[in-house]
Each structure stands twice: as structure tokens, then as C-alpha cells.
């Protein structure tokens, strides 16, 4: 049976299509409730700069994209700070790691080392040039990490771990000071702390996953009148991790074209229980059942007052399109904006300007009024 064209379909309808990945469904509902299909690319180099920008623009975005390897003082403070703001301002964290190695290596890069990405980033991305095992390896690592958390919860719940007090870290999947080992070994973790962290996580994630579709629809519908209530009904993000595949790039002369892009789509279809979408310059959903979220970097707006003026590149290969072109003409869903917002005098106001433009373009595309 064929499925209606996802380009013309509202994000809430897409959230409810059969087989939509739980994290993708959560993101799509969040986008509708917050009326934002804007992702901030927070390419800053210190923890304080990251937390400041997250705080400033958090209300206007659905995702915040990081490059943690450029943060000179990355550590627990970064993870906890970001988690706290993401929870208050309601956005997902996406680490733009661009994995590109053999399966065994990417598993370690994802789960270990100073960054332990799986712990705190709901979404990450990968190139497919090493072949499809990069996806299966990351998927297995994410599943193992989640299972390790669940096991630690079960153990601790059965021995009656106390609930955290309100001023204690109520943590989540991303809250511990150690990495999640991909062999499920939690013995290196600070157990008591971790168990409290994990117990809370599972409870909150259970809450959000037991929310029935109807409840989510209601949450989305409520958004028109009462955003806070709708967000409350939406609950916490699921524990599930999701992957975006780099199918096309924004930079001049890049090699991600033609057969390569097609291969990327094929791999995504084979693993749509983990791959939630693409980094791409246009919508790549073409077959019944495709419901990938297209996230698009290389986005810029002319300065206020100079609308209609062409946006040029950065002199280092980056090429820009406007949100309107990406969303209406190319069918992209989420626009990723870095320097366009980061270099503005009033970054909150500029993020709002991008949010409005991107949302207006989405409404135009799906024919909403
Ligand atoms: O094709 C791509 C893919 C990505 S993820 N082109 C990109 O520019 N990116 C990322 O998006 C890039 O690494 C940077 O973090 C962001 C664009 O930043 P801007 O300042 O040019 O908006």
C-alpha cells in the first residue's frame, strides 16, 4: 500500500505513521508543539559558551547540534549543564560526530573515551563510506548501552534503591560521570549514584513511552492553546538513540552524490529502527514507508532589512540556501543554522527570526494556513 507523500504531510501525521522510530516520533511532536523546525549548530569552543547559547536560544529550537571535540574544557559540567538546559527548554541534543570508521572502532568512539557520546546525545550521525557495518555497529552499541542501564535499574530497584531527593541529580541516561561500556559492564560506574540516575531515567522514559498515540495527538492539538500543558503531556524523550546518515553535504565539490546518496538511502531503509533521517540538501523519501527526517545545514538568511538578497558562502567551501528554498523547494524538514545565529548581536532574536522563517516555510509546504 502506498503512503501519501511525506512532503505534503504534517509533522504530527508523520509522527503517527506506522513504524516511526520512537525518537523520531518524539522529535516530530516536539517540533509541532514548539512550532520550531530549527536546529542550532552550536559550534563554540568552551563549555560556558555552549551553555550560554543553549540558554539564550533554547526556546526557539527543537535540536541543538554540538561538535564536542572543539570544546576545550569538555567534561561533566558540559554534559550536566547541557542536559539541564535541554530538559528545561525542551530540545534534543545531536552530536555531529560524523563517524566514519570500521564497526569496532566506531563502537568505542560512540561509547567510551572522554566524550562517551551515547550517554548524552540522543542523536548522532555517520558517513556510510565504510559500508553498512558502521550502522549495525553503532546500533548494537546503543542497544547495549541502554540494556546496561536497564539492568542496573532492575538490580537496584530490587534492592530498594532510594529515590533521589528533589535537589539531588535526578539524572538521566546522560547523567553519570563515567562512560557506558558497550559490553554492558557497569562495574566501573559509580554504582549507587548511577543506579539512582538510571532508576529515574527508566521511570521517566516509561512514562513517555507508555503515552499512547492518542495522548500524543492530544498533546499536539493542545499546543495551539497551551504549549506548557502540551509539553507536559509529551513527557520526557524516550531512551532510544537515533542516527542520521550523511547522504549529501552542503560544501562545494563534495563527493556525496548520485550512487553514493542512493546507497545511503538503501542502508537507511534496512535500518529504520535506528536511522531516523538524513543530513541532506533535499528530501530523500521516495518509496512507500519512507519517513526519514531531512536535516539540512548550509542555511542562512540575508540580514534583516535586506530580504531577497542572495546569501553567499563563507569562503571556505560552505554554501548556503535560505530556509524557504530548503524547506519549500527541496522538501527538507529541519534547518541547521550555525554562524547565522552565533554571530548575531542579539542571538535570541536572530534564532527567533530563523525559527519563524523555517516554520512559515513548513506551513507553506504542507498547505497549512
Ligand atoms: O554537509 C554538511 C553537514 C554538516 S553536519 N554541512 C555542514 O555545514 N554541516 C555542519 O553544519 C557543519 O559541521 C557545521 O557545524 C554546521 C554549519 O554551520 P554554519 O555556521 O555554516 O551554519
Among 297, 322, 332, which residue has the most ligand 1 atoms within 8 Å of its CB, making it the best to mutate? 297
Q: Which residues line ligand 1 (CB under 6 A)?
A: 41, 43, 67, 96, 249-251, 279, 297-298, 318, 336-340
Does any domain span residue 1? no
Domain assignment of residue 257, given as a range: 11-366
Does any domain span residue 332? yes
Among 336, 337, 351, 354, which residue has the most ligand 1 atoms within 8 Å of its CB, making it the best to mutate? 336
The residues with which 277 forms a beta bridge, in sequence order, are 244, 293
Q: How far is residue 20's CA from residue 210's CA, in Å, rounded to a whole number? A: 15
Per residue of the chain (369 residues), give pLDDT as tens: 455 699 999 999 999 998 899 999 999 999 999 999 999 999 999 999 999 999 999 999 999 999 999 999 999 999 999 999 999 999 999 999 999 999 999 999 999 999 999 999 999 999 999 999 999 999 999 999 999 988 877 777 666 644 444 444 433 455 333 333 333 333 333 333 333 333 334 333 433 443 455 666 666 666 667 899 999 999 999 999 999 999 999 999 999 999 999 999 999 999 999 999 999 999 999 999 999 999 999 999 998 888 888 888 999 999 999 999 999 999 999 999 999 999 999 999 999 999 999 999 999 999 985
Q: What is the CATH number of the domain that holds 167?
A: 3.20.20.70
Number of domains in the chain: 1
Q: How far is residue 175's CA from residue 2's CA, in Å, rounded to a whole number? A: 42
**Helix, strand or coil, per DSSP, at residue 276:** strand
Closest CA to 293 of 283, 301, 303, 302: 283
Please indicate whether residue 98 is annotated as part of the active site.
Answer: yes
Does any domain span residue 285? yes
Closest residue by CA, ligand 1 atom 6: 250
Q: How far is residue 356's CA from residue 359's CA, in Å, rounded to a whole number? A: 5
339 is in an annotated binding site: yes
Does any domain span residue 359? yes
The residues with which 64 forms a beta bridge, in sequence order, are 40, 93
DSSP characters over 66-122 = E-GGG-TT-SHHHHHHHHHHHHHHT-EEEEEEEE-S-HHHHHHHHHSTTT-HHHH-S
Of 101, 169, 217, 290, the active-site residue reads 101
333 is in an annotated binding site: no
Q: Which DSSP state fits 180?
A: P
Amino acid at each position: 500500500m502506498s503512503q501519501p507523500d511525506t512532503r505534503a504531510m504534517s509533522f504530527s501525521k508523520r509522527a503517527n505513521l506506522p513504524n516511526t522510530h520512537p525518537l523520531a516520533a518524539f522529535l516530530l511532536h516536539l517540533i509541532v508543539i514548539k512550532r520550531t523546525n530549527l536546529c542550532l549548530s552550536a559550534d563554540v569552543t568552551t563549555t560556558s559558551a555552549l551553555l550560554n547559547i543553549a540558554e539564550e536560544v533554547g526556546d526557539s529550537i527543537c535540536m541543538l547540534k554540538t561538535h564536542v571535540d572543539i570544546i576545550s574544557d569538555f567534561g561533566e559540567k558540559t554534559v550536566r549543564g547541557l542536559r539541564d538546559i535541554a530538559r528545561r527548554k525542551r530540545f534534543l541534543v545531536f552530536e555531529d560526530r560524523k563517524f566514519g570508521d570500521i564497526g569496532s572502532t566506531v563502537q568505542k568512539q560512540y561509547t567510551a573515551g572522554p566524550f562517551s557520546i551515547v550517554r548524552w546525545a540522543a542523536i548522532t550521525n555517520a558517513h556510510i563510506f565504510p559500508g553498512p557495518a558502521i550502522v549495525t555497529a553503532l546500533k548494537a552499541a546503543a542497544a547495549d548501552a541502554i540494556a546496561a542501564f536497564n539492568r542496573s535499574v532492575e538490580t537496584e530497584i530490587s534492592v530498594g534503591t532510594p529515590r533521589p531527593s528533589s535537589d539531588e541529580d535526578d539524572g538521566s541516561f546522560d547523567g553519570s560521570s563515567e562512560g557506558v561500556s558497550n559490553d554492558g559492564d557497569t562495574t566501573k560506574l559509580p554504582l549507587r549514584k548511577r543506579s539512582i540516575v538510571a532508576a529515574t531515567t527508566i521511570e521517566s522514559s516509561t512514562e513517555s513511552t507508555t503515552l499512547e498515540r492518542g495522548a500524543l495527538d492530544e498533546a499536539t492539538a493542545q499546543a495551539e492553546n497551551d504549549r506548557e500543558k502540551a509539553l507536559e503531556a509529551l513527557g520526557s524523550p524516550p531512551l532510544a538513540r537515533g542516527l542520521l546518515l550523511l547522504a549529501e553535504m552542503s560544501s562545494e565539490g563534495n563527493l556525496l552524490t548520485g550512487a553514493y546518496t542512493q546507497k545511503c538511502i538503501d542502508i537507511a531503509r534496512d535500518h529504520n529502527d535506528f536511522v531516523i533521517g538524513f543530513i541532506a540538501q533535499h528530501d530523500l523519501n521516495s518509496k512507500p514507508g519512507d519517513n526519514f527526517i531531512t536535516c539540512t545545514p548550509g542555511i542562512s538568511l540575508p540580514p534583516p532589512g535586506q530580504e531577497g538578497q542572495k546569501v553567499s558562502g563563507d569562503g571556505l567551501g560552505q554554501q548556503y540556501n535560505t530556509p524557504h528554498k530548503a524547506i519549500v523547494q527541496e522538501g527538507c524538514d529541519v534547518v541547521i543554522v550555525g554562524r547565522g545565529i552565533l554571530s548575531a548581536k542579539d542571538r535570541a532574536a536572530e534564532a527567533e527570526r530563523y525559527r519563524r522563517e523555517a516554520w512559515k516555510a513548513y506551513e507553506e509546504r504542507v498547505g497549512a494556513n
